[in-house]
Homo-oligomer: A and B are copies of this chain.
């Protein structure tokens, strides 16, 4: 069996021809405000507009020929829907994407453009699971979970690997926590490739299931998840939670106002479009400034897929 470090290296070699090596940007203005040196790893420039392309690609590339013939299925209203459709298209296989009827048309259009087949369902987790299970059975398609899947987790970790290759001496890497795939992969990458680099999660108070999960020691849910950070409304899973427990330093929670303010700061100062979920990481640093003072801090800008018709400014 391969060690984790070997698994990460193999994953990176596998997906490298299919993904962009995203740039790392910085901003003197934001550094000044934060009182620290920040390195923004821009997965908003990744194919499909988010880091999700990494994990989706890693998963589809390892399917057997029989599985490839039958295609893949997932349920997601967000970036993983687009990423899986795009990754599947790239290797010429079918992707069934279960999306709630309430998903924004712009997200549906992106999936269709990438050649995905959309199956609509009611906007509940139960309905999504039923609909995608049905496709698994009827079409014999392989289900790929957006965040609770080992290959997906390893794929998401490659963004932090690239970041640490560019900046080996980061003291911290801060990422948003939604389903837990990004932070789990990042925590593994930082542990094996960093130089005593701590991984910290940013999470909205309005969907602080991961924060509470780390406190209680079991996976907690969000009763409601009324956060603007739409990518972070999901909860952890049994594959990523143990990794998060073991390797993540801590979680910082932020208010909705802090998220919007951090998002505005990046848009205005850096001239790049980041989605609210990505702003959560910067918001976490700004709300806990003293702990990052004069450090080198990486931030993974998870994505840039926003609905321009519906901005918080």
User: Does A180 count as interface, using CB distance less than 8 angstroms?
Assistant: no
A273 within 8 A of B: yes
A79 in contact (CB, < 8 A): no
Partner of A313, one of B45, B270, B308: B308
Report chain B residues within 8 Å CB of A44. Answer: 271
B residues within 8 A CB of A273? Answer: 267, 271-273
* Shortest distance from the beta carbon of A26 to any chain B beta carbon, whole Å: 11
How many residues in A have their beta carbons less than 8 Å from beta carbons of B? 19
A311 at the interface (CB under 8 A from B): yes
Closest chain-B Cβ to A305's Cβ sits at a distance in Å of 8
7 contacts between A and B (CB under 8 A): A45-B270, A264-B308, A268-B308, A271-B273, A309-B313, A311-B311, A311-B313
Contacts from A to B (Cβ < 8 Å): 23, 25, 44-45, 49, 106, 264, 267-268, 270-274, 304, 308-309, 311, 313
Look across to chain B and name the residue whose beta carbon is closest to the beta carbon of A113: B29
Known: A264-B308, A271-B272. 15 other contacts (CB 8 A): A44-B271, A45-B270, A49-B271, A106-B268, A267-B308, A268-B308, A271-B273, A271-B304, A272-B272, A272-B273, A273-B273, A308-B311, A309-B313, A311-B311, A311-B313
Q: How far is the CA of A23 from the CA of B308 in the complex (A)?
A: 24
Residues on the B chain within 8 Å of A304, using CB: 271
Q: Which residues of B sit under 8 angstroms from A49, Cβ to Cβ?
A: 271
Chain B min CB distance to A159 (Å)? 15
CB neighbours (8 Å) of A270 from chain B are: 45
Ranked nearest first, the 4 interchain pairs of A and B with the lowest CB-CB distance are A271-B304, A308-B313, A271-B273, A44-B271
Task: Determine the distance from Cα of A295 to Cα of B45 in the docked complex, in whole angstroms.
Answer: 24
- Neighbouring B residues of A264 by C-beta, 8 Å: 308
Closest CB in chain B relative to A210 CB, distance in Å: 26
In the complex, which residues of chain B have a beta carbon less than 8 angstroms from the beta carbon of A274? 271
Shortest beta-carbon distance from A156 to chain B in Å: 19
Residue of A45, A264, A267, A271 most packed against chain B (CB within 10 A): A271
Q: How far is the CB of A41 from chain B (nearest CB, A)?
A: 14
Q: A304 — nearest CB in chain B belongs to which residue?
A: B271
CA–CA, A25 and B267, complex, Å: 18
A288: min CB distance to chain B, Å: 25
- A94 to chain B minimum Cβ distance, whole angstroms, is 22
**Nearest residue, chain B, Cβ from A106:** B268
A49, A273, A274, A311: residue with the most chain B Cβ atoms closer than 10 Å: A273
Tell me, rounded to whole Å, the shortest Cβ–Cβ distance linking A39 to chain B. 16
What is the CA–CA distance of A44 and B49 in the complex, to the nearest angstrom? 19
Chain B residue with the shortest CB-CB distance to A45: B271
Q: How far is the CB of A85 from chain B (nearest CB, A)?
A: 14
Closest chain B residue to A311, Cβ basis: B311
Complex alpha-carbon distance, A304 and B106, angstroms? 24
Contacts of A23 in B (CB 8 A): 23
Name the B residues within 8 Å of A25 (CB-CB): 45
Most chain B CB atoms below 10 A, which of A268, A304, A309: A268
